[in-house]
Structure 1
């Protein structure tokens, strides 16, 4: 059997997708799995929720700022080096956090350095290498990559809760550092490859027909900054802002909110974990249909149902209600980031996709910072979580409406009219 035929049976790019999904699981699970740490950290360091929420908000911004920096380093040094730098920063920051006993030291180590390291191991770092390895099945590969984010929520939150109960929050972080070393270092050295074989996934057995409709070619821009003058970019960016707002509110304050509503730590963590478990399954399904139906319609539906899910989470009073809402929310928890990057590529082309998606994801992190802060601040000032979760519901429904208005292509007959002349 020839080499090409063997590659056709199993394409090495899928190995890269698998290890990148695991790296994403660790990264996103750590970033969004802070909920179980909140009360132990508050008790240990003597902070109030507003102070910790400020630290979390700053960490979200550092996480977002680090992504364009990681993208620049990718151009200079490649994926493998950036990932190894990220792992080094994560391990160093965790050791520093372990020995931190004052608020300032904790804020620098956990809120700053850890977030910078995680931005170097984030989806923004591994998405380009996956995209290079896949042309015929890029959408499917990116959706499968997104299962790592969903699994991170499902797996890391209950695991953190269990180990914090057994060994404390500081030792749990040390175990996390060891896991990063054991998994990320060998993956970066032995699996991650920036060099793509000739033909890529167009080899026999890997080909898929393109779903793009004839005549719907992306607009050609002379500079990525021109996209900032058009409405579709900001429509996508607004959706990602709300996505970051909602996901980080749940990641930072979901478990504390549920325990404040008299759910046990185990029940609360399991309820949040169910969202990720169901999301992994739904991501696989969404990946299989992503090229068959309108991306904007799918994105609008995801935001709308997710909004109802957030309202349900803050209103549930029994475990079965929590689990039911978590299942429904998990069905639409996945796909917003993958769909957003795909829509940007459809409209503007792949030449500027990396930098446009990077800045859009930075806006996602601004939303994350605000959502993380609002969750703690509003509870201390109003004595209820309904304010933060109610605002999130309204924003998600608004994001659904905005997403449905995103055009399938852009028509720029005159440069000065680029912001207004959009062909639906």
Structure 2
């Protein structure tokens, strides 16, 4: 891990995956349903929305692996973060059940699509034999991002009385993750063996 942590590519992956955790688990699993209820959606509608995200996530994750095998890992991963960022910034303005379900499909398609790309990039950068420990620490960054989102969205809600600022700032962070991923460079010297 000392060798991996000395490599700037590790930090690009770790910070981008930390943002992934911020924009998924911590934000959505804690605050999506309260946000929807505040916008006048019934609890069952919000549960259906979350279920639809989970269902489309299955397809999106499988598709992500296929895309990464055919087109590389960086550009699909950058595309996922961009799509996530734009969709998060639009979420506060969703007003109908149809819009909510459309959002759920788009967001669900890229919820876990980042995992195949990030784990494959980890293998490319640090070697297959090091994926377990290096990706484990990258996942630690993911969980730290999730914890930070869970707390900060609640804090911002307490200040503003709504989740608009939380979702827009998370969307902007996802666009930052796009920039981090685009700057990842894989070459023969990247692999830390």
Q: Same fold (TM over 0.5)?
A: yes
Deviation string, structure 1 residues 42-96 (Cα, Å, up to 9, x no partner) = xxxxxxxxxxxxxxxxxxxxxxxxxxxxxxxxxxxxxxxxxxxxxxxxxxxxxxx
SS in 1 for 2:41: coil
Write the mapping of 1:49-128 to structure 2, written as runs, cut at 5 A. none
For residue 318 of structure 1, the aligned residue among 63, 86, 96 is 96
Structure 2 gap ranges (5+): none
- 2:112 is paired with a residue whose SS is coil
Alignment partner, residue 173 of structure 2? 395
Q: Deviations over 1:121-142 (max 9, x none)?
A: xxxxxxxxxxxxxxxxxxxxxx
Give the superposition deviation at 1:314: 1.9
Residue in 1 that maps onto 2:67: 289
Unpaired stretches in structure 1, ≥5 consecutive residues: 1-223, 413-421
Q: In the TM superposition, what is the alpha-carbon distance from 1:252 to its structure 2 partner? A: 0.5
Per chain length, whose mean CA-contact separation is higher, i.e. which structure has more relative contact order (CA < 8 Å, sep 6+)? Answer: 2
Pairing 1:124-135 to 2, within 5 Å after superposition: none
Aligned residue in 2 for 1:246:
23
| Cα deviation code 1:268-321 (max 9, x no counterpart) | 111122111111112222223321112000100001101111122221011111
Deviation of residue 338 (structure 1)?
A: 2.1
- Report the counterpart of residue 78 of structure 2 in structure 1: 300
Name the structure 2 match of 1:386. Answer: 164
> What's the CA shift for 1:254?
0.5
Alignment of 1:200-349 (within 5 A): 224-247=1-24, 248-349=26-127
Give 4+ residue runs of structure 1 displaced > 3 Å after superposition.
Answer: none
**Structure 2 residue matching 1:267: 3-state secondary structure:** helix
Q: Does 1:370 find its partner at 2:148?
A: yes
User: Given that residues 244 and 364 in structure 1 are in contact (C-alpha distance below 8 angstroms), is that contact kept between their aligned partners in structure 2?
Assistant: yes
Length-normalised TM-score, structure 2: 0.93
What's 1:62 paired with? none
Q: 1:344 to 1:318 in 2, by over 3 A?
A: same
CA distance in 1, matches of 2:59, 2:161: 36
In terms of Rg, which structure is larger? Answer: 1
Distance 2:134 2:174 in 1: 22
Once superposed, what is the RMSD of the aligned Cα atoms? 1.5
2 CA distance for matches of 1:289 and 1:262? 37
Number of the residue aligned with 1:211: none
- Distance, in Å, in 1 between the alignment partners of 2:13 and 2:96 is 36
Tell me, what secondary structure is at the counterpart of 1:292? helix
Residues 261 and 317 in structure 1, CA contact (< 8 A), matched pair in contact too: yes
For residue 359 of structure 1, the aligned residue among 123, 127, 137 is: 137
More helix by share: 2
In 2, distance between residues paired with 1:408 and 1:281?
A: 28
Q: C-alpha distance in 1, partners of 2:58/2:130?
A: 29
The 1:374–1:410 alpha-carbon spacing in structure 2 relative to 1, beyond 3 Å, is: farther
